[in-house]
Amino acid sequence: MKTLRFFTLFITCCFSFSTPAQDATEQQIVAQINADLPQALSELELTVNINSGTLNFEGVKKVGHFFQQKFDEIGFKTQWVDGSEFKRAGHLVASYGDTGPKILMIGHLDTVFAKDDAFQTFQKIDDNHIAGPGITDMKGGDVIILSALRALKKLNLLDNVSIKVVMTGDEERSGRPLSQSKKALIDAAKWADIALGFEDADGDIKTAVVARRSSSGWKLNVTGKPSHSSQIFTDDIGYGAIFETARILNAFREQLAGKDNLTFNPGMIIGGTDINYENATGTAYGKSNVVAKTARVSGGIRALSVEELEHAKQMMQKIVAENLPHTSAAITFAEGYPPMAPSDGNYALLKMYSDVSESLGYGPVTAVNPRNAGAADISFTAKHVKMGIDGLGLMGTGGHTKEEVADMRSFSQNMHKAAVLIYRLSLAN
């Protein structure tokens, strides 16, 4: 049934809807959102002013409970998913309806700004710009989700669609194991036909995301045979840990750099006679006249598809295994964000979203270059839903920095687009 429902929806999206641009119902949607805009602005200011750095569990729960109350008020069934099993605050899940296309809307409650960070408050810069911690990443997107659904509910336009909202509490710093921390999101994706993500993507309102690269880590541990440096390169001593590390990293560069959408980066390297490394900080002891005994490298890797990622891992493992004399090396890969590969379904949904944007007078929307959009929660849904796009949130600049500024001209526009998109999707029922 899910496959049949998707096929009908896919054909409808591919050939667009016969709905006239700005028909009477869509005009009502826009008018309702505009009437509710002061409330949305107040909600944005309130939530931005609550510190919800990922590890500030109290703050994340406070933001989550605020949105939970708001969804309760408009008739959604809500649930707070406790995060103690994965050492995070938890997630909010809100559901409505049991007929029509099943749409998952994705947000997150946490930010990168810790409880003691100096950047804490909502600050108006001018008529079009507001600064604040997490205003674009992504409390603005959360408010857009709420506002679009509230307008549709007031207009009785949610009867032919099923909605599930998941706002996670650990997007910026995922809990472990991922099988637990992402379970609520993945379960919702298995239920859904369509996923809509409300991150700010590349900050350009003229773009949306149809593909995101994976994001995960790797660690390289290398050992050599320690000796007086006068004996390096000899048959008995070999090349030492640091030369072997250099060989491996250079081979990674020569054989894998510039391949499609694959990137990998050695972000930290440490080596010598003795090393200590913990929580991204390390110390080393070594002398210029001693062949290095040990070295370690930590890095990240990103790819656009599972196949691309697996091929890269195999190549890296092969390179690591081709050791110089009297050295050994091992590489391990950490679990992380999977890729959101581009698909026909994603592009069909983007076309529909672009059609909505044009009918509202906002111009077309095109796909973001995957190199310009980082990993996000929607990636965990990609293999379960038939259609998905991201980057529908509040746009701006300076994300993850103290210069995070929202372009408020995108606030109501993206509410309009999200609400009208959901309305049009409901017509496919």
Domains of the chain and CATH, by start = 2-213+338-426 (3.40.630.10), 216-333 (3.30.70.360)
pLDDT of 375: 87
Q: Say if CB 406 and CB 247 are below 8 A apart.
A: no
CA distances from 340 to 5, 176, 293, 388 (A): 22, 21, 40, 9
Residue 250: how many CB atoms within 10 A of its CB?
Answer: 11
To 5 degrees, how large is the angle CA 71–CA 86–CA 269? 120
What's the CA gap between 32 and 423, in Å, rounded?
Answer: 14
**Sole residue written with tokens 């909202």:** 165
pLDDT of residue 4: 44
The owner of tokens 């969804």 is 71
**pLDDT at residue 6, as a whole number:** 47
| Residue 7: per-residue pLDDT | 44
Per-residue confidence (pLDDT) for residue 428, from 0 to 100: 83
Give the residue among 379, 395, 302 at the shortest CA–CA distance from 343: 379
- Reference 408, options 145, 131, 193, 158; nearest CA is 131
**How far is residue 355's CA from residue 252's CA, in Å, rounded to a whole number?**
43
Paired residues of 196 in beta bridges: 105, 389
The answer to whether residues 97 and 423 touch, using CB atoms and an 8 Å cutoff, is: no
pLDDT values of the chain reduced to their tens digit, one per residue, 429 residues: 454 454 455 444 444 444 445 689 999 999 999 999 999 999 999 999 999 999 999 999 999 999 999 999 999 999 999 999 999 999 999 999 999 999 999 999 999 999 999 999 999 999 999 999 999 999 999 999 999 999 999 999 999 999 999 999 999 999 999 999 999 999 999 999 999 999 998 999 999 999 999 999 999 999 999 999 999 999 999 999 999 999 999 999 999 999 889 999 999 999 999 999 887 889 999 999 999 999 999 999 999 999 999 999 999 999 999 999 999 999 999 999 999 999 999 999 999 999 999 999 999 999 999 988 888 999 999 999 999 999 999 999 999 999 999 999 999 999 999 999 999 999 986
Q: Give pLDDT, residue 373.
A: 81
What is the model's pLDDT at position 14?
43
